[in-house]
Structure 1
Amino acid sequence: MSTLSTHVLDAVRGVPAAGIPVEAFARGTENDWHRVGSGITDDDGRVTSLADTPLDPGTHRIVFVTGDYFAAHDVEAFYPEVCITFVVTDERHYHVPVLLSPFAYSTYRGS
């Protein structure tokens, strides 16, 4: 069974990014997106179980609503949201962390 989690770190402040709304989507057969789960990053910047049900193989997307997070810290930011698209190929845990700053972000496939 494929599960999904994330972790967001604020690279500028050097702390976990708490309070960021996150939504997970799966691409349907007609290239439409349907939501498979959501959450808000906790005090450690994590959402440990982002999908409501196991992920099916295929293309998925996570959207991090970052604009309100930066505004709450009185920081001007270029990206109001971060969207990461990835492919689920097998039954395993998928962890998609984000290193966030006001004018850049990076991600990788974690474990």
Structure 2
Amino acid sequence: MISTHVLDTSEGRPAAGVPVELARRTADGSWLVLGSSATNTDGRCPDLPPLGVDSAAGPVDVQLVFDIAAYRRARGETPFFPEVRVVFTADPGTRYHVPLLLNPYGYSVYRGS
């Protein structure tokens, strides 16, 4: 299971309304989009879909794409980073929480709990 949340560190609060897409890499190297969501008022995406592979398949590459342009434009701002792509390797049977800390000219991600 993959979960995420976005905090706007320049505002000191959750970033609501950030579109997020979840995908996994296929055997041919392309990305299979599993689903999308948007952050709620708490900055979380509670409804991202499962990876859709059996845990016996072994680790898979996963991608979260955050549409920062949509978030910034909704606030009347011009985005410097139009999107943030976070690619990581996940075990299908393990839970991963990957938060994004965002400000207008920088961002960071980490594996949370």
Task: Give the Cα–Cα distance (whole angstroms) in 2 for the partners of residues 43 and 70 of structure 1.
Answer: 15
Task: Give the Cα–Cα distance (whole angstroms) in 1 for the partners of residues 91 and 106 of structure 2.
Answer: 28
Alignment RMSD: 1.3
The correspondence of residues 4-83 of structure 1 with structure 2, limited to 5 A, is: 4-51=2-49, 53-56=50-53, 57-83=59-85
Cα deviation 1:54-103 (Å, max 9, x = unaligned): 45331010000010211121223210111000001352211110000111
Residue 4 of structure 1 contacts residue 48 of structure 1 at CA under 8 Å; is this kept in 2?
A: no
Could you tell me which runs of 5 or more consecutive residues in structure 2 were left unpaired when the two chains were aligned: 54-58
Residue 99 of structure 1 contacts residue 106 of structure 1 at CA under 8 Å; is this kept in 2?
A: yes
TM-score by length of 2: 0.88
Could you tell me which runs of 5 or more consecutive residues in structure 1 were left unpaired when the two chains were aligned: none
TM-score by length of 1: 0.90
Residue 6 of structure 2 contacts residue 101 of structure 2 at CA under 8 Å; is this kept in 1?
A: yes
Task: Give the Cα–Cα distance (whole angstroms) in 2 for the partners of residues 13 and 55 of structure 1.
Answer: 36
Q: Aligned to 1:98, which of 86, 97, 100?
A: 100
Paired residues, number: 108
Task: Give the Cα–Cα distance (whole angstroms) in 2 for the partners of residues 13 and 98 of structure 1.
Answer: 14
Greater share of strand residues, 1 or 2? 1
Task: Give the Cα–Cα distance (whole angstroms) in 1 for the partners of residues 39 and 18 of structure 2.
Answer: 5
How many Å apart are 1:38 and its aligned residue?
1.2
